[in-house]
Amino acid sequence: MSLDLNKDIIEEIRSRSDIVDVISSFGVQLKRSGGASFKGLCPFHQEKTPSFHVDSARQSYHCFGCGKGGDVFRFFMERENVDFINAAQILAARCGVIIPEKEYNPQQRARQSEQERLLAVNAEFSKFFCRVLAENPNCAGAQYLRNRGISADVIQKFKIGMAPDGWTASLDYGRSLGFSEHELLTAGIIRKKEDTGRLYDQFRNRVTFTIENEQGRPVGFSARSLEAKPADGRKYVNTPDTPVFHKGRLLYALPQARQGIGRMKKAVLCEGQLDAIAFHRAGLECAVAPLGTAFTPDQARVIRRYSNNIVLAFDADSAGQKAVLRAAEILLPLSIDLKVLQIPGGKDPDELYSKQGAEALSEVLNNAVPWLDIMLDVCREKFVLDSPTGRAEAVAYVANFLKLVENQVELEVYLEKVAAMFEVSSGAVKSALDKAVAMAIRPRMTTPAEPPAAAIPETSRMEVRRDPARVAIIVLLEIAMASIDNARKIAEALEDIELEERDPVVKALNVVINCALNNEMEMVDSCLHDLLIEHPSPEISKLMVKTSEFSSVDRAVDDAVAELRRVRNCSRREELICKLRETADEQERLNLLMEISKLSITGE
């Protein structure tokens, strides 16, 4: 089934997603600049002076530097590089709006996209594996889970199951549901032997952990072998990458942790599924885990949507320490308040919970240390801190992490802390940081300078200044947005002028006029937000965060309409002159000359 993302649902998501809160959650420090206006440094381009403005009353944003702007949906689309559907689903999950699903009859179901079919495959097999486990309480999987102390409630919450101990049990079940071999192969439920072409079950006789996407829909599985030495050497088998399963973009237990993260104001990032589950069992329902691979930038962006307070709960061994450093490199540029869990005796969270209970796990979570403390431990192992040279090397090492911090306030705090850690001046740390930044930039200086990426879509600001007609339309749009009377006056003045509908600004002007003529001016902001989702326009988003100021509205309207008529008539005159050159008929030439003369006499 697909989602029924209708206009009412879109408006409900928009109304519940305060744009100031959402933008602030991405680390943008917004300061009130009067009334409902806020401003801060733009998250879309580098700048030192704030040019990013947010209007909480109109729930709009606009950057006067790069031109990006729109509503909360547009912000999510731009910031996270996702389409509207994904942005809406993520925002709905954040604000608690349930998007209903469309129901399909059998004929329509047959025409569903491959993605929908794969989602259906995973949903059915999640239920199937859970049922196999529940109906076989004496199987090896059930015994394994009991030994780990995992209760039936936890099994149900996380959709833990058991794949049958048969080479084609899943294949046969999938066929019985009407799924094709191709669909089962694509979904990763079955595999094909390259030499013989024989089909067999991917997760045979393994405990299955259902992997869900952000919307809580099953998209794949992570399956643990119960054998001491699996025949294929793989302790865990994950669903391969599919159109709905991208291992580097998913986080295990995120749907179960979403509310806990919001309640506890932090997210715990674990190494494995059982560690994440241990936190939930302890009542600390804010833990997630990557899927058997190194933590990725895509996963960092996902978790950052929910909290900027992240605690790393990795193993205490050297591999875990390296994982902490890799995660820090990814998370620090995102303005994350990063801490690291330290468990006495090198235990992992699952072991700590199993042996000492929820209180012990809660205590180590509350006592998580800042990432810089871990850096000090690393430096003690890597460098001789008693010597000036070793200390200088340690400061340079840490500076390579500090250069990743983009927030200047955070950076100042870190500089002071590093100076205190190594008993050097903050100036010395700043010097090391400058060198690290210079080294990072230097390789790029040898390559040809690239032109800046288009910051303003569809029409640049220079083009706006060169096009008097477009400037006139923007003036009319600004005036029309100010009041219903203005919009109606403009509608009357433009009755004899045909505007180019392909231009988003013209579309916006028509939207405002239609709202005014239908006595629905309260719908203007919503309609313009919808327009900006499909047609990003800096001119429109700019008007949605600025106050209209005209000494004389009537004169401004008259001047703008006169300019549009002048441009229209100039275009018409050029068209007539072309026809005049092409025709030999004397009467037609005389008629053309009279029309050209009339246009010139009127001065339009």
Q: What is the pLDDT of residues 36-85, one digit of tens each?
A: 889 999 998 888 889 999 998 889 999 988 888 999 999 988 887 777 88
Specify the pLDDT at position 599: 65
In this structure, what token pair is assigned to residue 385? Answer: 């801190």
Are 349 and 313 a contacting pair, CB within 8 Å?
Answer: yes
How far apart, in whole angstroms, are the C-alpha atoms of residue 289 and residue 257? 11
Are 184 and 168 a contacting pair, CB within 8 Å?
Answer: no
Are 211 and 255 a contacting pair, CB within 8 Å?
Answer: no
CB atoms within 10 A of CB 380: 12
Residue 373 has pLDDT above 90, yes or no: no
Report pLDDT digits (tens) over 277-324: 999 999 999 999 998 778 898 899 888 878 889 999 987 777 778 888
Are 330 and 297 a contacting pair, CB within 8 Å?
Answer: yes
* CA distances to 233, 273, 318, 331, 536 from 315, in Å: 22, 13, 8, 18, 45
In this structure, what token pair is assigned to residue 427? Answer: 């100036």
In this structure, what token pair is assigned to residue 507? Answer: 């579309």
How far apart, in whole angstroms, are the C-alpha atoms of residue 528 and residue 522? 11
Residue 108 has pLDDT above 60, yes or no: no
Residue 238 has pLDDT above 90, yes or no: yes
Q: Report which of 339, 337, 336, 342 is spatially closest to residue 363, judged by C-alpha positions.
A: 342
Q: Which of 372-376, 444-448, 521-525 has the lowest mean pLDDT?
A: 444-448
**Most confident stretch, 38-52, 153-167, 331-345:** 153-167
Specify the pLDDT at position 520: 85
Fold of 112-243: DNA primase DNAg catalytic core, N-terminal domain (3.90.980)
Domain ranges of the chain: 7-95, 112-243, 254-370, 383-443, 461-599
101 CB-near residues (< 8 Å, 6+ apart): 1, 2, 3, 4
How far apart, in whole angstroms, are the C-alpha atoms of residue 534 and residue 280? 40
What pLDDT band is residue 112 in, cutting at 50, 70 and 90?
low
Mean predicted lDDT score pLDDT of the chain: 85
Count of alpha carbons within 13 angstroms of residue 73, beta-carbon side? 25
Superfamily for domain range 7-95: Zinc finger, CHC2-typedomain (3.90.580.10)
**Which residues, listed in sequence order, are joined to residue 210 by a DSSP beta bridge?**
221
Residue 601 has pLDDT above 60, yes or no: no
Report pLDDT digits (tens) over 129-142: 999 999 999 999 99
Specify the pLDDT at position 451: 34
What pLDDT band is residue 446 in, cutting at 50, 70 and 90?
very low
What pLDDT band is residue 445 in, cutting at 50, 70 and 90?
very low
- Segment (H or E) for 199: strand 199-201
How far apart, in whole angstroms, are the C-alpha atoms of residue 336 and residue 330? 10
In this structure, what token pair is assigned to residue 424? Answer: 């050097």
Are 198 and 167 a contacting pair, CB within 8 Å?
Answer: no
Fold of 254-370: Dna Topoisomerase Vi A Subunit; Chain: A, domain 2 (3.40.1360)
pTM above 0.75, yes or no: no
More confident position, 235 or 345: 235
In this structure, what token pair is assigned to residue 206? Answer: 């393994």
DSSP 309-361: EEEEE--SSHHHHHHHHHHHHHHGGGT-EEEE---GGG--HHHHHHHH-HHHH
Q: Report which of 307, 275, 303, 273 is spatially closest to residue 291, judged by C-alpha positions.
A: 273
Which residue type does 101 have? E
